[in-house]
Amino acid sequence: MSMTEPAPDAQAALSFLVQGKSRVGAERIALLEAIQRSGSLSTAAKELGLSYRGAWDVIKTMNNMLPHPVAVTQAGGKHGGETLITPDGQRVIRVFHQVQTELERVMAALRQSAEEAPDILKGLFMRTSARNMLRARVAAITPGHVNAEIALDVSEGVTLYAIVTEQSLKDLDLQVGGEAIALIKSSFVMLATAGPGLKLSARNQIPGRVSRVTDGQVNNEVTVDIGGGKSLNAIVTRDSVDDLGLTPGTAVMCCVKASHVIVAVD
| DSSP codes joined into one string, 139-176 | EEEE--SSEEEEEEEEETTEEEEEEEEHHHHHHTT--T
DSSP code string of 39-51: S-HHHHHHHTT--
Q: Is the full-model pTM beyond 0.75? A: no
Q: Which helix (H) or strand (E) holds 234?
A: strand 230-237
- Predicted confidence at residue 19, as pLDDT, reads 46
- Predicted confidence at residue 137, as pLDDT, reads 93
Other C-beta atoms closer than 10 Å to the C-beta of 93 total 18
Instruction: Write down the H helix ranges in the chain.
Output: 8-12, 26-38, 41-47, 52-65, 87-113, 117-120, 166-171, 238-244
The three-state secondary structure class of 113 is helix
Per-residue pLDDT of the chain (266 residues; tens, 9 = 90+): 333 444 444 443 455 554 444 556 778 889 999 999 998 999 999 999 999 988 998 898 888 888 889 999 876 544 457 899 999 999 888 888 777 766 666 656 655 554 444 444 443 445 566 789 898 999 999 988 889 999 999 988 899 999 999 888 888 888 999 999 999 999 999 999 876 667 778 889 999 999 999 988 889 999 999 998 899 999 999 999 999 999 999 999 999 999 999 998 87
Name every residue whose Cβ is closer than 8 Å to that of residue 266 and which is 6 or more positions away in sequence.
Answer: 126, 181
The three-state secondary structure class of 188 is helix
Domains by residue range for the chain, with CATH:
8-124 (1.10.10.10), 132-181 (2.40.50.100), 186-255 (2.40.50.100)
- Predicted confidence at residue 129, as pLDDT, reads 64
Q: What is the distance between the alpha carbons of residues 29 and 131, in angstroms, rounded to a whole number?
A: 21
Q: What is the distance between the alpha carbons of residues 204 and 118, in angstroms, rounded to a whole number?
A: 40
- At how many degrees (to 10) do helices 26-38 and 87-113 cross? 150
